[in-house]
Structure 1
Amino acid sequence: MPELPALLLSIYFRFLLVTVVTMPPSSLSQTPVLSSVRMAAILDDSSVCGRGERLALALARENINSVMEGPARARVEVDIFELQKDSQYETTDTMCQILPKGVVSVIGPASSPASGSIVSHICGEKEIPHVKIGPEETPRLPYLRFASVTLYPSNEDLSLAIGAILRSFSYPSASLVCAKAECLLRLEELIRRFLISRETLSIRMLDDNLDPTPLLKEIRDDKIATIIIDANASISYLILKKASELGMTSAFYKYILTTMDFPLLWLDDIVDEQSNIVGFSMFNTTHPFYLEFIRSLNLSWREGCDINPYPGPALSSALLFDAVHVVVEYDGLTGRVEFNSKGQRTNYTLHILEKHRGGHKEIGIWYSNNTLLMNSTSLDINVSETLANKSLIITTILENPYVMRKMNYQEFEGNEQYEGFCVDMLRELSDILKFTYRIKLVDDGLYGAPEPNGSWTGMVGELINRKADLAVAAFTITSEREKVIDFSKPFMTLGISILYRVHIEARLSPYEWYNPHPCLRERRDLLENQYTLGNSLWFPVGGFMQQGSEIMPRALSTRCVSGVWWAFTLIIISSYTANLAAFLTVQRMEVPIESPDDLADQTNIQYGTIHGGSTMTFFMNSRYQTYQRMWNYMYSKQPSVFVKSTEEGIARVLNSKYAFLLESTMNEYHRSLNCNLTQIGGLLDTKGYGIGMPLGSPFRDEISLAVLQLQENNRLEILKRRWWEGGQCPKEEDHRAKGMNLSYTSTQ
């Protein structure tokens, strides 16, 4: 017979049991009573205490027979056949033992896909319904005659469920770890969807030695945070155990397991508060018989098995229970039991579970119509469950006033060695989110820039390599960095500015030539005539310029002539000053540069920035012509105009003709400490400082909300005033243009 639709199977089953059992007594005298209904169950687990399948079959038989009452009741009998190995000969021989018994259906096997395919084919030829409780065979052969229905989720449904979880948690890329090559066919729909979306899915096969170490190291080196494991429960545990040894079960890694025995996995020696391990369960815990089923299995397990404690029911045992009951009811221990025209399970649910110490919790439900409903509590930010009592590694860099060592830091240990704006902010965040932390200085002393080989230096590199959980420093948010790491909301807004030293010039002041010790004269007893030819000419010139000539006339006649000359020069100079007044209404400070354009148009004053910082990246990627010229100059200048730290840049500003390009907040801080420094022009751009974390970090939203809370409470502004207003220099006034207060006094 061809592939049976589910409706025909349903009618066939009910005809055998339901209709016969519920016949009225008047019809029983005319109709032979069916005393028993015989089924065959093929088990591929020979151990008594393996998956509890024998116990489940016994419970199902007793349960279904107990509800059939009356003189015409029919008893259900289940014959158990063991399959020693997954081979064609063993399977065919087992079916030859089953067929003469006149069974109405064949159930199983659970974990032997090849044998299951042979059983389906033989049952199809003999027109005997086959209830499959294991994964679908791959590939499914359409030209063979099948009479089977599958209680296990179809391969397509499994792919859709995994894809829904990936979309729900916004995982852009993933790695698929396959225990067998058949997983490429089992998850064909998932792979196809990745190809359509052009997102990254790397596929790695487990070797014959079942050693996952090499492929896990490859995944770690590729910076892939989402890992899908397609394997049975035992191999999945082996992979997770090795991942834990490699440090790959932290909060940055997410695991999705395809095994339906996920609830049986005991992972207390692997998981911690930060682990993210998700799997599926088909158990309907609201079924009226569920608790009795668990209690009976647990009791039988303790009486007949030496293994303690009872790990819980395997999915195959529940599916066997439902397979026996499928002929008389449609709501089983694995949910609603319905089939489509292909004999595949439909109108059912998969429960999404997340492992934690001591068990698991349900975080969502996937429906077979490809609808995913996540629990709001699992998606909402729950600070007490996410960051509370967690210990984080904080990478940072020494930069005044953000992170500094205390003057006597040798007397302290750990976090107490440091102080600064970022240290105080980190302490505030810790108080809000209830986490602990350890401050660690970045190894290479850099913020982070890409290398030609694709790797990153500095704090960015440490976040990518999972050496740190957070980067708290004067860490600029850039688009290039956002591609490889995540940032919180900015905690400070700033821009690029120019730092230069104050221009020194002689002032028009009498103190420039004033003698501070006028009483100290040499040889006061020596007298000589001071009106030589030179002094006689110098005296009237000094009067004309309204300046003293250091020659003092003593004779009355000479003083009168001098007074007339001075009056004449006063009138001449006053007239000249009045005519020139209109042209002297604005004075400008003599500064060699006043804007980035001035810097780009000259070569006398060198300029540069910190090597490997965001400011260097800004000029390197800028498309503005002036900034491109500045970058070409800085890149080609020898010796290099780039510096390793802010302190080195400030030293070059003070000791040479050098303009330092740096963030405005640092500019403001250092100008408050050194009055010989000044800012030239305005800001070249606008950007912000943020807290960095690895890509896909679960802490991003929590940290961002805490930063916003500090801003709303004005705590960040208070911290900034504390560290920025401790300098001795007053705030600068705008020196670009000052009006002169001119007044004209009329004398008559």
Structure 2
Amino acid sequence: CSLMKLGVAGIFGTQSDVTSMHVQSICDALDIPHVEARWDFQLQRQRLPINLFPRPAMLGKAYVDLVRIWGWTEFCLVYEESEGVIRLQDFFKEAQKYGWRLHLYQFKSGEAYRDLFWKIKVAGDNRIVLDVKRENIYTVLKHAQQVGMMTENHSYLITSLDVHTVDLEDFKYGKSNITAFRIVDMGSPELQSLFDEWSQFSVFGRKTQTHQRTIKTQTALIYDAVKLFAKALADFDTSKTVVFPPIFCESGEPSEDAIGTSIRNLMKLIKIQGLTGEVKFDQQGYRSEFHLDLLFLSQDGFKKIGGWHSSYGINITLNATSEYNSLLLQNKSLIVTTVINPPYTMLKDSAQLLSGNDRYEGYCVDLIFELSRQLGFKYRFKLVEDNAYGIKNDKGEWNGMIGELIRG
């Protein structure tokens, strides 16, 4: 209200759910544009603000699409705040459809993260969808590491769009599969230009060099929000003179020159290219169409291995996939299940007593040898006990090689 007495064009923010509702209520009553850049779980409102954060339902679809590409059928959802359940709700819907087995865990306030990871470890879960605040990501992963939950056999999908801004140096060499999405377009010429401008700034009259060329999602979204608002204001100003008179909350009435509704409607129609890619809205004012980069933590830091688009789904690039797979398999020891079936897998005829992998020959044996040589893994052949490829019985259980794969 103090700001409005000075005359304002619009209100940006806040990040708090409760505060935002108050601000939205005042802006609705006084017809002032309200622009947000935060995750908002509310599916319906009487008067929607313009929100540049991706629509939660579409963001949830990106997580689910990735898990389906990976072929996960059993994994755990680990969250910190109660809103995490809402962010992860799409997994429950898909679980019913595809028969996924989900295990739900929540960090308890006042307890160390490692206490919960001990329980997860005992339960044998090694595929984790992790929903925690950006500022807690490092500590959470550190506690997981302390209890042996950051090995080459563990996979993490982190839901935060800000993982790329967190220093995960301590986890780059553990070979854990850490994957996340990013909405900030790091290839944007506009962003690179901003980094160049920010690289030297004055602190107490001295020039200071900054080295980290990264930006938080909220900062990029606010930048795009201001850019979008300015474009709408400029377009509106061509047809009508815009003024921002003092507004008094006590009146409860918008001024005669209020343009909030007009600006809001105009913003819904405008498309801009921002730091977070193309910015445009559906009829409800939601950002439902957007692109995300798919990131994988390698020894050189986060690398882009593909992307997700609301219209096309997941796309993993070929070169990145090869590097991604080789990183996952380097120095791993694998068990290769097989059956005796010429010419694929055969027992060698030899006058000497053979042991281990030397006992076998055939096309499959040669293929595994070449793959291990190129990707750097070790392996041991194991004949399946019932010598079957695998069929499902009346109880829905598989035998043979398929059964061994399903049982891990």
TM over 0.5: yes
Q: State the partner residue of 1:511.
A: none
Q: State the partner residue of 2:195.
A: 294
* Partner Cα distance (1:296, 1:421) in 2: 62
Counterpart of 2:385 (choices 476, 481, 487) is 476
Do the aligned partners of residues 348 and 391 (structure 1) sit closer, same or farther apart at CA in structure 2, a change above 3 Å counting? closer
Q: Are 1:261 and 2:261 an aligned pair? A: no
Counterpart of 2:355 (choices 384, 401, 420) is 420
Q: Give aligned-pair identity as a percent.
A: 21
Is 2:335–2:381's contact at 8 Å kept on the other side of the alignment? yes
- CA shift for structure 1 position 394: 7.4
Q: Are 1:116 and 2:58 an aligned pair? A: no
Counterpart of 1:222 (choices 117, 123, 140) is 123
* Partner Cα distance (1:125, 1:255) in 2: 45
Amino acid aligned to 2:171? I
| Secondary structure of the corresponding residue to residue 251 of structure 1 | coil
* Partner Cα distance (2:324, 2:289) in 1: 33
Q: Are 1:435 and 2:376 an aligned pair? A: yes
| Secondary structure of the corresponding residue to residue 292 of structure 2 | strand
Do the aligned partners of residues 342 and 481 (structure 1) sit closer, same or farther apart at CA in structure 2, a change above 3 Å counting? same
Amino acid aligned to 1:246? V
Is 1:346–1:368's contact at 8 Å kept on the other side of the alignment? yes
- CA shift for structure 1 position 150: 0.9
Is 2:200–2:207's contact at 8 Å kept on the other side of the alignment? no
Q: Are 1:349 and 2:253 an aligned pair? A: no
Q: Could you list the per-position Cα deviations for residues 652-697 of structure 1 after superposition, in whole angstroms to 9, with x for gaps in the alignment?
A: xxxxxxxxxxxxxxxxxxxxxxxxxxxxxxxxxx978x9x78967x
* Partner Cα distance (1:189, 1:395) in 2: 34
Amino acid aligned to 1:356? S
Is 2:305–2:317's contact at 8 Å kept on the other side of the alignment? yes
Alignment of 1:460-609 (within 5 A): 472-476=381-385
- CA shift for structure 1 position 253: 2.0
| Secondary structure of the corresponding residue to residue 269 of structure 1 | helix
* Partner Cα distance (2:60, 2:322) in 1: 26
Is 1:294–1:313's contact at 8 Å kept on the other side of the alignment? no
- CA shift for structure 1 position 169: 1.0
- CA shift for structure 1 position 367: 1.3
Q: State the partner residue of 1:387.
A: 329
Q: Are 1:321 and 2:223 an aligned pair? A: yes
- CA shift for structure 1 position 242: 1.5
Q: State the partner residue of 1:180.
A: 81
Alignment of 1:1-150 (within 5 A): 96-110=1-15, 112-136=16-40, 138-139=41-42, 142=45, 145-150=46-51
* Partner Cα distance (1:294, 1:694) in 2: 48
- CA shift for structure 1 position 322: 0.7
* Partner Cα distance (1:190, 1:306) in 2: 46
| Secondary structure of the corresponding residue to residue 160 of structure 1 | helix
Amino acid aligned to 1:422? N
Q: Could you list the per-position Cα deviations for residues 242-261 of structure 1 after superposition, in whole angstroms to 9, with x for gaps in the alignment?
A: 22222222332221111111
Q: Are 1:162 and 2:63 an aligned pair? A: yes
Q: Which runs of 5+ in 2 are unaligned?
A: 232-270, 338-346, 348-352
More off after superposition, 162-171 vs 281-290: 281-290
Q: Could you list the per-position Cα deviations for residues 28-55 of structure 1 after superposition, in whole angstroms to 9, with x for gaps in the alignment?
A: xxxxxxxxxxxxxxxxxxxxxxxxxxxx
| Secondary structure of the corresponding residue to residue 339 of structure 1 | coil
Q: Are 1:372 and 2:306 an aligned pair? A: no
Is 2:50–2:286's contact at 8 Å kept on the other side of the alignment? yes
Amino acid aligned to 1:354? F
Alignment of 1:238-253 (within 5 A): 238-253=139-154
Q: Could you list the per-position Cα deviations for residues 112-154 of structure 1 after superposition, in whole angstroms to 9, with x for gaps in the alignment?
A: 2222232222212221111111111x44563xx5341111112
Do the aligned partners of residues 294 and 302 (structure 1) sit closer, same or farther apart at CA in structure 2, a change above 3 Å counting? farther
* Partner Cα distance (2:175, 2:228) in 1: 41
| Secondary structure of the corresponding residue to residue 362 of structure 1 | strand
Q: Could you list the per-position Cα deviations for residues 628-651 of structure 1 after superposition, in whole angstroms to 9, with x for gaps in the alignment?
A: xxxxxxxxxxxxxxxxxxxxxxxx
| Secondary structure of the corresponding residue to residue 295 of structure 2 | strand
Q: Could you list the per-position Cα deviations for residues 370-409 of structure 1 after superposition, in whole angstroms to 9, with x for gaps in the alignment?
A: 6222223344587754534x2538799xxxxx9xxxxxxx
Is 1:257–1:279's contact at 8 Å kept on the other side of the alignment? yes
Do the aligned partners of residues 366 and 306 (structure 1) sit closer, same or farther apart at CA in structure 2, a change above 3 Å counting? same
Do the aligned partners of residues 246 and 130 (structure 1) sit closer, same or farther apart at CA in structure 2, a change above 3 Å counting? same
* Partner Cα distance (1:214, 1:394) in 2: 31
Is 1:125–1:146's contact at 8 Å kept on the other side of the alignment? no
Q: Which runs of 5+ in 1 are unaligned?
A: 1-95, 397-401, 403-417, 438-469, 484-620, 623-685, 697-748
Amino acid aligned to 1:392? S
- CA shift for structure 1 position 168: 0.9
* Partner Cα distance (2:101, 2:91) in 1: 12
CA RMSD of aligned residues (A): 3.8
- CA shift for structure 1 position 212: 1.9
Counterpart of 1:312 (choices 201, 214, 226) is 214
* Partner Cα distance (2:209, 2:116) in 1: 33
| Secondary structure of the corresponding residue to residue 285 of structure 1 | coil
Do the aligned partners of residues 429 and 210 (structure 1) sit closer, same or farther apart at CA in structure 2, a change above 3 Å counting? farther
Q: Could you list the per-position Cα deviations for residues 308-342 of structure 1 after superposition, in whole angstroms to 9, with x for gaps in the alignment?
A: 75362111111111111013161101011111122
Q: State the partner residue of 2:276.
A: 334
Do the aligned partners of residues 121 and 133 (structure 1) sit closer, same or farther apart at CA in structure 2, a change above 3 Å counting? same
| Secondary structure of the corresponding residue to residue 137 of structure 2 | helix
- CA shift for structure 1 position 368: 2.1
* Partner Cα distance (2:19, 2:391) in 1: 51
Is 1:252–1:694's contact at 8 Å kept on the other side of the alignment? no
Is 2:177–2:328's contact at 8 Å kept on the other side of the alignment? no
Is 2:388–2:400's contact at 8 Å kept on the other side of the alignment? no
Do the aligned partners of residues 430 and 379 (structure 1) sit closer, same or farther apart at CA in structure 2, a change above 3 Å counting? closer
* Partner Cα distance (1:211, 1:375) in 2: 38
Do the aligned partners of residues 480 and 176 (structure 1) sit closer, same or farther apart at CA in structure 2, a change above 3 Å counting? farther
Q: Which has the larger radius of gyration?
A: 1
Give TM-score scaled by structure 2 length: 0.72
Counterpart of 1:191 (choices 92, 95, 99) is 92
* Partner Cα distance (2:359, 2:140) in 1: 41
Is 2:200–2:208's contact at 8 Å kept on the other side of the alignment? no
